[in-house]
Structure 1
Amino acid sequence: MSNGTETVRRPHGPLARLPHIDRVWLVLAAALALLALIDSDQAARSLRFTADALLGVAVFLALSIGVAAFAKASGADNLIARAFSGQPAWMILAAALMGALSPFCSCGVIPLIAALLAMGVPLPAVMAFWLASPIMDPSMFVLTVGTLGTGFAVYKTFAAVAIGLLGGFGTWALLSAGALQNPLREGVGNGGCSARVVRAPQPVVWRFWQERDRREKFRTNALFNLNFLGKWLALAFFLESLMVAYIPADTVVGLVGGESVLPVVIATLVGVPAYLNGYAALPLVGGLIDQGMAPGAGMAFMLAGGVTSIPAAVAVYALARPPVFAAYLGFALVGSLGLGLLFNAIY
């Protein structure tokens, strides 16, 4: 998932007495200060652009924060356990749907996958969840509606499920052929902050506000996500302002514009190293589309980047054996390219 808990290393010695400053906010402040030295007029315009853009998505931001906090406080994330039981085909379908719709923190997705595999959950269902999970979640859907429109959000949700199904049924076929045995690396454990939802699922408490601990969990999660989403969106809108100011629209059109296959291929491949964060990518892709980027290329960039970005890929590589990792990347890239081309054709 995209709205994750970030592990912060506290400094020791004299630095420990200094107030902690989030690195994203620090980078944003430093970038704005540097821009002010180089081009003070553009710094003022970028600041206004960022503030106006944040104000424009404020309602969607608040709604997405509320959805994520409600899921945590009520225990609705426990519903994930139901996706991993039944016949293989139904299990794959349920896992892909739950992966696209369930909010999970980024610190918990990888250990959760390890827990599922260690408990003997079939790899096809795990692969379906694994691929669909980073592409879409309820908070991402709401913010995508606010930045790129309802059509883009609905299709991206469909694409998340489709890529999950591709990976799930593709893995099933590979397993039937004798491949992808023993998916976990040696020594990989099955712990993690989200593994308990599969090991010992608890009933959902929809009226969470009646319990003090759950009200506190709602408040804590909402504040965390306000900071998490706020900082990434602020950085993304700031970068979008620079992109609009300094990158000619003709350049964008020349690289990733038009209805041919090449722009979607380029966007799919570029999405792997260039992807920052699922939330940060929304305004950046919106700005590129406004400058002439093909909608299918924007979709392919977000799909491929969400699954195969360097941080996510490194985490998967650390967990899975090389053949499973290669299958993960292959399904993600093929699915992103195909669904990007389809979006280009029907947009």
Structure 2
Amino acid sequence: MTNISPSAQSELPVRPTFIDMLISIKKSLGAPVILSVVIVIGLALHDMAEVPGRLIFTGTALFEIFPFLMLSVGTAAYLKASGADQLVARAFEGNPVRAIAVASVFGALSPFCSCGVIPLVAGLLAGGVPLAPVLAFCIASPIMDPEMFILTAASLGIDFALVKTAAAIGMGLFAGYVTLGISKTGLLANGLRDIATPSCGSSLQSEIDVQWAFWKTSSRNIQFWTEGRKTSWFLGRWLTFAFLLESLMVAYLPAENVAEVLGDGNAFALPLAALIGIPAYMNGYAAIPLVRGLMDLGMSPATALTFMLAGSVTCIPAAIGIWSLVKPKVFSLYLGFALAGSLIAGFLYQIALG
């Protein structure tokens, strides 16, 4: 009988446990796929006859939005491959008052998703950029980007997409200038965690390499297709999950209840939408079909805007990312901007609609 030494035993491969396999599957598929499967299984257990109708609804919705989905994917891939996303760093140069305005606009128009913006923000803070313009960018960025504008216009109309873009810029300005004023009092001193604290001599990289005709370079060509596949997988999963949720709302949520609680007849509809939107942590893309379904059931456009704004700023990737960079007092300010900014935008939109 051959004896195996303790050192040799330690080098033997460890068989993954059932829990390890579940974690691996979750990482591969992602939360939206897992949740979609859970919903379908739960629906089948509740009423198997409903499953085909809900799946047909989801498939039809995906088919209708597919051209816009491809356009948004192509836009994101082009901006990444050409290096145009690097231009956002220039928004933070110069006078803070000007930087806040430019950062708000860039935040609303830049192609960064909630996850992708965090490394940039960490680098900006570590590079010594003031908190005010960075926070303006952080507020505006999760609300709107080119892909989301296309999908919002396709589902909720071009007018709503334009209003949401204006609201993103406005909330960024509001957050930036209020933060600038508070910063002058010293209340936000030492508000950054160590990972985002500037070190001596740190500065932003000034050289930006943008190549609009990216297809002339092999590496950028590869990056275009890689980014396209990644964005397609990301958006496809979340939209499938969202359309599945919408199908359930249409089937099981009484229209009169939605109209009563979130319609124009309820004076507290806007505050309620903001208070629901913040803890909902709703992904901005998933919120589009969800809000469309609620509007079809009676939710007012102003209430829909308030819900989407509050939820976008506090969606899980954005909220966790900001929390990892700043201390609780700054994070509380971030949540306060989400609540106050979404309410102000909602009330202004309600007034504009008459």
- For normalisation by structure 2, the TM-score amounts to 0.88
Question: Do the aligned residues in 1 keep the contact of 2:278 with 2:310 (CA within 8 Å)?
Answer: yes
**Residues 181-229 of structure 1, C-alpha deviations (whole Å, 9 max, x = no match):** 23312354689xxxxx953542210000111111110101111111110
For 2:243, the equivalent position in structure 1 comes to: 237
For 1:227, the equivalent position in structure 2 comes to: 233
Counterpart AA for 2:99: M
For 1:29, the equivalent position in structure 2 comes to: 37
Question: Do the aligned residues in 1 keep the contact of 2:105 with 2:169 (CA within 8 Å)?
Answer: yes
1:56-135 matched pairs, under 5 angstroms? 56-135=64-143
Residue 312 of structure 1 deviates from its aligned partner by 3.0
Counterpart AA for 1:77: D
Structure 2: gaps (5+ residues): 1-13
Question: Do the aligned residues in 2 keep the contact of 1:114 with 1:184 (CA within 8 Å)?
Answer: no
RMSD: 2.3
Residue 86 of structure 1 deviates from its aligned partner by 1.8
Question: Do the aligned residues in 2 keep the contact of 1:275 with 1:281 (CA within 8 Å)?
Answer: no
For 1:154, the equivalent position in structure 2 comes to: 162
For 1:8, the equivalent position in structure 2 comes to: none
| 3-state secondary structure, aligned to 2:268 | helix
Which has the larger Rg?
2
Question: Do the aligned residues in 1 keep the contact of 2:72 with 2:147 (CA within 8 Å)?
Answer: yes
Q: Does the C-alpha gap of structure 1 residues 187 and 30 become closer, same or farther in structure 2, counting only changes over 3 Å?
A: closer
Counterpart AA for 1:132: A
| 3-state secondary structure, aligned to 1:180 | coil
| 3-state secondary structure, aligned to 1:202 | coil
Do structure 1's residue 247 and structure 2's residue 250 form an aligned pair? no
Question: Do the aligned residues in 2 keep the contact of 1:156 with 1:299 (CA within 8 Å)?
Answer: yes
Question: Do the aligned residues in 1 keep the contact of 2:55 with 2:244 (CA within 8 Å)?
Answer: yes
**Residues 37-74 of structure 1, C-alpha deviations (whole Å, 9 max, x = no match):** 32222211111100110111111101000000001100
Question: Do the aligned residues in 2 keep the contact of 1:259 with 1:344 (CA within 8 Å)?
Answer: no
Residue 115 of structure 1 deviates from its aligned partner by 1.7
Q: Does the C-alpha gap of structure 1 residues 17 and 307 become closer, same or farther in structure 2, counting only changes over 3 Å?
A: closer
Question: Do the aligned residues in 2 keep the contact of 1:166 with 1:335 (CA within 8 Å)?
Answer: yes
1:304-319 matched pairs, under 5 angstroms? 304-319=310-325
Rounded Cα–Cα distance in structure 2 between residues aligned with 1:46 and 1:80: 41
| 3-state secondary structure, aligned to 1:13 | coil
Runs of 4+ in 1 over 6 A off after TM superposition: 14-19
| 3-state secondary structure, aligned to 1:107 | coil
Residue of 287, 294, 311 corresponding to 1:281: 287
Counterpart AA for 2:155: T
For 2:221, the equivalent position in structure 1 comes to: 215
1:196-211 matched pairs, under 5 angstroms? 198-211=204-217
Rounded Cα–Cα distance in structure 2 between residues aligned with 1:190 and 1:64: 35
Residue of 280, 294, 300 corresponding to 1:294: 300
Q: Does the C-alpha gap of structure 1 residues 190 and 152 become closer, same or farther in structure 2, counting only changes over 3 Å?
A: farther
**Residues 105-136 of structure 1, C-alpha deviations (whole Å, 9 max, x = no match):** 43332232222122111111111111101110
1:161-176 matched pairs, under 5 angstroms? 161-176=169-184
For 1:342, the equivalent position in structure 2 comes to: 348
**Residues 157-186 of structure 1, C-alpha deviations (whole Å, 9 max, x = no match):** 000000000011111111223321233123
Residue 261 of structure 1 deviates from its aligned partner by 4.0
Q: Does the C-alpha gap of structure 1 residues 124 and 222 become closer, same or farther in structure 2, counting only changes over 3 Å?
A: same
Question: Do the aligned residues in 1 keep the contact of 2:115 with 2:318 (CA within 8 Å)?
Answer: no
Stretch of structure 1 that moved more, 98-107 or 138-147? 98-107
Stretch of structure 1 that moved more, 228-237 or 22-31? 22-31
Question: Do the aligned residues in 2 keep the contact of 1:124 with 1:172 (CA within 8 Å)?
Answer: yes
- For normalisation by structure 1, the TM-score amounts to 0.89
Question: Do the aligned residues in 2 keep the contact of 1:128 with 1:163 (CA within 8 Å)?
Answer: yes
| 3-state secondary structure, aligned to 1:106 | coil
Residue 102 of structure 1 deviates from its aligned partner by 0.7
Counterpart AA for 1:22: L
Structure 1: gaps (5+ residues): 1-10, 192-196
Aligned length: 332
